[in-house]
Structure 1
C-alpha cells in the first residue's frame, strides 16, 4: 500500500478531521516516503530516536505512533529533531501520528481498550477536553477491588505508577482517560464514580481525591496508551496483507 492509501484507510475509522481545532498534534501523515509501496508497518507509542531507529533496523516502510514529532507550531529541524528526521528520510520511512482521535475511538482507542480489559458495561463518554469527551465511564458487572483493577489493566505485568485507595473497597463504577489526564479526576468526583484510571497523578489532585473518596490508579502514561496503537495494528493486519510489528519502548512513566 502507498502512504496515500494508508492515510485513507486510517482516516476511514479515526476522526482525524474532527480534532483539527482541539488537538495540538499534527494528526495524520507527518513524514512521507518517496512514493514506493509499503509492505511492513511498525507501531509504537512515541516517535523517539529509539523507535525510529528500531523501525529502520526492522526494515519497515511506515511507523505509526500515538505521539508524533510535531505539536501545534513549527519546529526547527535542528539537534534532536534533525537526527530523528534524518533516520526517517535516509531509510525512506513514513511517519504517521494519531493522538486524541486514538484516545477517543470507541473500538480501537486507548480508553476503549482499558474499558474492555475491565469488562465495563453501560459505557458513556467521559472526560471533557475542549468540547470533546475522549474517555469512557461505565459499570462493572460485579464489584472488584482496586488491586484486581490494577491486574486487569497492567500491560506486560508492569506495575502502575501509583495506586490510591481513597474510596470504597468494592468498586462498581469506573471512569477512564489515558495518558496525562490527572485533572479529569475532578469530573470523576463530580460524577461520583468509584474509581478513576489515568496515566499520571498530580499533587494538585491528591487531597481532592482523598476528600472526595475517589479511588485512583495512575497506570503510567506509556502503559495506558499502548492499547490504541496495538489495536490499530491488529485491525490493519486482519484486513490487509501487510506485515506489522509493535515496538515496545517503555519509559516507566
Structure 2
C-alpha cells in the first residue's frame, strides 16, 4: 500500500479531525512510498525503532509519537537519533494519540473495558461525543480486593490501590487510560464507585479519600497497549497488511 494511502485509510477510520489534540495525528515522518510490513507499539522509543529496523519494517504505527505541544523544538539528542534512524531506513512513522484513546472499537478505553468485562455506558464529559473519560458497569458488584485482582489478571501487573474509604461494592466504574488520573474528580461527581487510570499524582490520594471513590492506578503503558494492538489487528483483518505488535516493557 502507498504510504499516503495508508495515512488516508487510518485517518478515515480514526477521524483525528474531530478531536483537538496535543500533537499531530497521522504521518509524522515520511519514509519509503510502498508500505508492506508495519510494526506497531505504544511509544516510538529508540527501542521500538531499532526493533522495526531489525524486522525490515516499512512503517511504525504508535500511540505516542513525536512533536508534542510545548516540547523543545530543536531536533537534537534523543529526538535526533530516533528521527535519523527512521529517515536513514526509510521508515514511515504514523501516530494517533487521543483518536486512539476514544475510538469506540479499537480505542484504548474500549479495549480496557473489553479486557476487564466492563459494559461501557457513555462518556463522563457532558456534551462531548469524544469524551476521553468514560464510564460503565460491571456485570456483578465486586469488593475492592476482587476488582484489584481482576485488573492484575487482565494487565499482568498489580495496580496501585487508593482506598476511597467506602464499603459500598464496586459496580459503577469510570476510567481513562494513560495519564487521566485527574478525571477522578469528574468520576466522583458522577457517582462512580471506582476510577481507573494509568498514572497517579500526589493529589489523587486526597481526591479519592475525600470523595469516597476508590482509585486504581494500573500503569500508563499497561492500560494503553491494547488500542494500538487492536488497530494493527484491524489492518490485518480488513486490509490484509503485514503487521507485528512489539511490546517494549515499560513499568510506568
RMSD: 2.0
How many residues align? The count is: 249
Matched, 1:146 2:144: yes
The alignment partner of 2:51 has SS state of: helix
1:129 CA drift (Å): 11
Equivalent residue, structure 1, for 2:132: 134
The structure-2 alpha-carbon separation of the partners of 1:183 and 1:62, relative to structure 1 and needing over 3 Å to count, comes to same
Equivalent residue, structure 2, for 1:192: 191
Equivalent residue, structure 2, for 1:246: 245
The structure-2 alpha-carbon separation of the partners of 1:195 and 1:110, relative to structure 1 and needing over 3 Å to count, comes to same
1:81-230 map, 5 Å: 81-121=79-119, 123-127=121-125, 132-154=130-152, 157-160=156-159, 162-166=160-164, 167-168=166-167, 170-230=169-229
User: Take 1:109 and 1:249, find their aligned partners in 2: how far apart are those partners?
Assistant: 19
> 1:68·1:96 contact (CA, 8 Å) conserved in 2?
yes
Give the TM-score taking structure 2 as reference length: 0.92
User: Take 2:137 and 2:241, find their aligned partners in 1: how far apart are those partners?
Assistant: 37
Matched, 1:44 2:41: yes
1:228-239 map, 5 Å: 228-239=227-238
> 1:178·1:221 contact (CA, 8 Å) conserved in 2?
yes
In the alignment, structure 1 segments of 5+ residues that lack a partner are none
1:115 CA drift (Å): 1.2
User: Take 1:212 and 1:65, find their aligned partners in 2: how far apart are those partners?
Assistant: 36
1:188 CA drift (Å): 1.0
1:208 CA drift (Å): 2.1
Give the TM-score taking structure 1 as reference length: 0.91
User: Take 2:9 and 2:138, find their aligned partners in 1: how far apart are those partners?
Assistant: 33
The structure-2 alpha-carbon separation of the partners of 1:40 and 1:122, relative to structure 1 and needing over 3 Å to count, comes to closer
User: Take 2:133 and 2:167, find their aligned partners in 1: how far apart are those partners?
Assistant: 22
1:149 CA drift (Å): 3.0
> 1:112·1:136 contact (CA, 8 Å) conserved in 2?
no
The alignment partner of 1:192 has SS state of: coil
